């Protein structure tokens, strides 16, 4: 069963018991709460057979053939694990999409450990998978990747989704006057805020056509380990804060992700001089 909530001394994460999805996030210190729904979607990659342009989506170019991504699942099957140091809600959205929502006892951020792949291509559709966070934060057309990113900045916006994607190296956030939701990533990803109050991050892509920029092959990653298609696992760290103080949290958090401890192991007893 999905727990109603997991919480530590900093954060409270609530879940919708009917869907198994996250439903809200609170900062217990600042006593602020937002509605927050998180789910996984995929954009159907353009194959290039299009009246506007014959440009397919590929290793370089993101060109969805529709601005509306497909929802992978309305609900998640969940399983909950509660331990003294950590609380987890394990969510399964599809055979190829799952996630662990994890709150460590001393963490200021909730961890979303996502596992995506192998992306199915038996329908002959290239897929570009995102996770999207839809919140009650009243943003206007801006989101932030370090720089302030306006929606539809180009004079003539020919691609309402792709033309609003920006590189995210370590963090992205959306905010209004009182609430800021920040996401710290563990790798560089693309992302955007397509709707007010919404933040999306691209996690994995699998494409069937080359995008004609020289590489001359579709981005279709397989290997001996992943013969059915690459499976990727990563983490997003999420937290809620006041806009004025959020940087005090995300800067050290982003540094901790990059400069993380290196664990080494040795067999047997530790000698005093080892």
Partner 1 sequence: QSRSCGYESCHPTKHNMLNVHLVPHTHDDVGWLKTVDQYYYGDRNDIQHAGVQYILDSVVDQLLKNPDRRFIYVETAFFYRWWKQQSAAMQQTVRQLVNEGRLEFVNGGWCMSDEATTHYSAVIDQMTMGLRFLNETFGPCGRPRVAWHIDPFGHAREHASMFAQMGFDGFFFGRVDYQDRSRRMVKKEQELLWRASDSLTPPSADLFTGILPNGYNPPEGFCWDQSCSDPPIRDDPDLEDYNVDEVVEQFLTVAHNQSLVYKTNHIIMTMGSDFQYENANLWYKNLDKLIRYVNALQANG
Nearest distance in Å: CB 162, partner 1: 12
Token code pair at residue 55: 């440009």
Q: At closest approach, how far in Å is the CB of 213 from partner 1? A: 9
Copy the structure tokens of residue 246.
């959020």
- Consecutive H or E run containing 246: helix 246-258
Instruction: Give the H or E element holding residue 257.
Output: helix 246-258
Q: What's the min distance (Å) between Cβ of 90 and partner 1? A: 30
Closest approach of partner 1 to the CB of residue 190, in Å: 9
Two tokens, residue 261: 């401890």
* Position 245 contacts partner 1 (CB under 8 A): no
Q: How far is the CB of 163 from partner 1 (least distance, A)?
A: 9
Binding partner 1 by CB under 8 A: which of 50, 77, 140, 169?
169
Site string for partner 1, 135-164 (x = CB under 8 A): -----------xx------xxx--------
Letters for 49-78 (x = contact with partner 1 by CB under 8 A, - = none) are: -----------x------------------
Establish if 214 lies at the interface with partner 1 (CB under 8 A): yes
Q: How far apart, in whole angstroms, are the C-alpha atoms of residue 48 and residue 54?
A: 4
CB of residue 165 vs partner 1: minimum separation in angstroms?
10
**Nearest-angstrom CA–CA distance, 163 and 198:** 16
Please report whether residue 85 would count as binding partner 1 according to CB under 8 A: no
Under 8 Å between Cβ of 80 and 91: no
Per DSSP, the residues of 37-73 read EEEEEEEEB--S--SS--PPP-SS---BSSSSPEES-
Question: What is the distance of C-alpha 207 from the center of its chain?
Answer: 19
Choice between 3 and 146, CB closer to partner 1: 146
Which residues here bind partner 1, judged by CB under 8 A? 60, 146-147, 154-156, 167, 169-170, 188, 214-216, 258
């Amino acid at each position: 069963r999905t727990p109603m909530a997991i919480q530590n001394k900093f954060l409270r994460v609530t879940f919708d018991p009917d869907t198994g999805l996250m439903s809200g996030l609170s900062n217990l210190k600042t006593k602020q709460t937002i509605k927050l729904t998180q789910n996984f979607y995929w954009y159907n990659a353009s194959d290039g057979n299009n009246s506007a342009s014959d440009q397919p989506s590929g290793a370089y170019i993101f060109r969805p053939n529709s601005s509306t991504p497909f929802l992978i699942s309305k609900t998640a099957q969940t399983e909950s694990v509660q331990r003294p140091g950590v609380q987890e809600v394990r969510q399964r959205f599809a055979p190829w999409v799952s996630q662990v929502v994890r709150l460590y006892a001393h963490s200021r951020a909730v961890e979303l450990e996502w596992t995506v792949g192998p992306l199915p291509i038996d329908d002959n559709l290239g897929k570009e998978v995102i996770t999207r966070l839809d919140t009650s934060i009243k943003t206007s057309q801006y989101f932030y990747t370090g720089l302030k990113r306006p929606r539809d900045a180009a004079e003539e916006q020919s691609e309402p989704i792709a033309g609003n994607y920006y590189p995210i190296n370590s963090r992205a956030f959306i905010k209004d006057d009182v609430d800021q939701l920040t996401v710290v990533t563990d790798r560089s990803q693309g992302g955007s805020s397509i709707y007010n109050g919404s933040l999306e991050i691209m996690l994995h892509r699998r494409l069937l056509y080359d995008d004609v920029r020289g590489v001359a092959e579709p981005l279709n990653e397989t290997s001996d380990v992943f013969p059915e298609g690459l499976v990727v696992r990563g983490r997003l760290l999420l937290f809620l804060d006041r806009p004025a103080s959020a940087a005090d949290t995300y800067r050290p958090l982003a540094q901790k992700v990059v400069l993380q401890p290196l664990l080494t192991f040795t067999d047997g007893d530790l000698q005093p001089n080892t």
